[in-house]
Amino acid sequence: MSEEVLKIENLHVYYGSIHALKGISLKVEKGQIVTLIGANGAGKTTTLQAITNLVRKREGRVFLNGKDITHMPTHGIVNNGVALVPEGRRIFPNLTVYENLMMGAYARTDQDGLKSDLEWVLTLFPRLRERLKQLGGTLSGGEQQMLAVARGLMSKPKLLMLDEPSLGLAPLLVKEVFEIIQKIRQEGVTILLVEQNAFAALKIADYGYVLETGRIVLEDAGSSLLGNDNVRKAYLGIATE
Ligand code: ATP
C-alpha cells in the first residue's frame, strides 16, 4: 500500500494584496521523486516556504506522514524530518565544508548516528570528502550546490525538498546533480523537487505537477507529462504539430 509522506490541501498564500498561491493541493508518496515545475514567479518557492512555515498560509493544511503540521513552527517541522535546500546555494562561505555539513545536523544529539550519516553523505558526495577543510566560499558553483544538498541530508530527513538545484549550473553539472538526486532516492529518501528545468526534472520524477500563476494546472506521471503536447510547448521548448 502506498504511504503518503507529504500531503498539502488547498494552500493559499498572499503577499500583501498579491494572491501568490491559489489553492495548491499535492502529495508525495514514500520513496517517490515528485516534481513541481513552472515558470518564473509561478509560486514554486512560495509553496516550499508555505509547507515549512517560512511564509504564512491564509488557508490550507499540510500533513507529514499523516500528522497535521499546518501550524508547526519551522524548527519543529525540521525536527520531524523535513529538510529544505533553498534556492541559490545558501551555504556558509566562511565555514569549512565539514563545518557546513555539521550545521545541517545541529538539531541532532546522537553522536554515533551523526558519524555514520556523515560517512553516508560523504560516500554520496566523494568530492566533498576531498575538500572537508576547504572554505565553503572557495568551492565551485557546482560543488557549493552539492554541499547545500549534502547539508540537507545531514538531518537524515524523511522528506528532502530541493528548490531549483540546477539553477545556474553548466549542463554537465546539471546532469551530475540529477544523477545524485536519483541516488538519494535509491537510498530511501523521499524527494519533492522544484525545478524550472522541466525536462531534466520530469525525466527522473515519478509524478509531476505543473504550476501556473499560483494554480496547479496539470498533474500526471513524469513520463506522461514529458509526452504531453501542452507541457512540451510551454516548458520543454519543443514545437509540436
Ligand atoms: P522562480 O522560479 O522565479 O523562483 P517561483 O515559481 O519560485 O519563481 P515564487 O518565488 O514563489 O515563484 O513567487 C510567486 C509570486 O509571489 C511571484 O509573483 C512573486 O513576485 C511573489 N512574491 C514572492 N515572494 C514575495 C515577497 N516576499 N513579497 C511580495 N511578493 C512576493
Q: Is 40 in the pocket of ligand 1 (CB under 6 A)?
A: yes
Question: For position 173, what pLDDT does the model report?
Answer: 85
Residue ranges in the chain whose pLDDT is less than 70? 1, 106-108, 237-241
Question: For position 110, what pLDDT does the model report?
Answer: 74
**CA 34, CA 209: separation in Å to the nearest integer?**
8
Domain coordinates of the chain in residue numbers?
A: 1-81+159-165+192-241
Question: For position 213, what pLDDT does the model report?
Answer: 94
Question: For position 169, what pLDDT does the model report?
Answer: 84
Nearest atom in ligand 1 to 13's CA: 16
For the domain 1-81+159-165+192-241, what is the CATH code? 3.40.50.300
Question: For position 20, what pLDDT does the model report?
Answer: 96
Please provide the DSSP assignment of 32-100 as one string.
-EEEEEE-TTSSHHHHHHHHTTSS--SEEEEEETTEE-TT--HHHHHHTTEEEE-TT----TTSBHHHH
What are φ and ψ of residue 167, in 5° steps? -55, 125
Q: pTM for this one? A: 0.92
Q: Is 38 in the pocket of ligand 1 (CB under 6 A)?
A: yes
Question: For position 87, what pLDDT does the model report?
Answer: 85
Question: For position 105, what pLDDT does the model report?
Answer: 75
Nearest atom in ligand 1 to 49's CA: 11
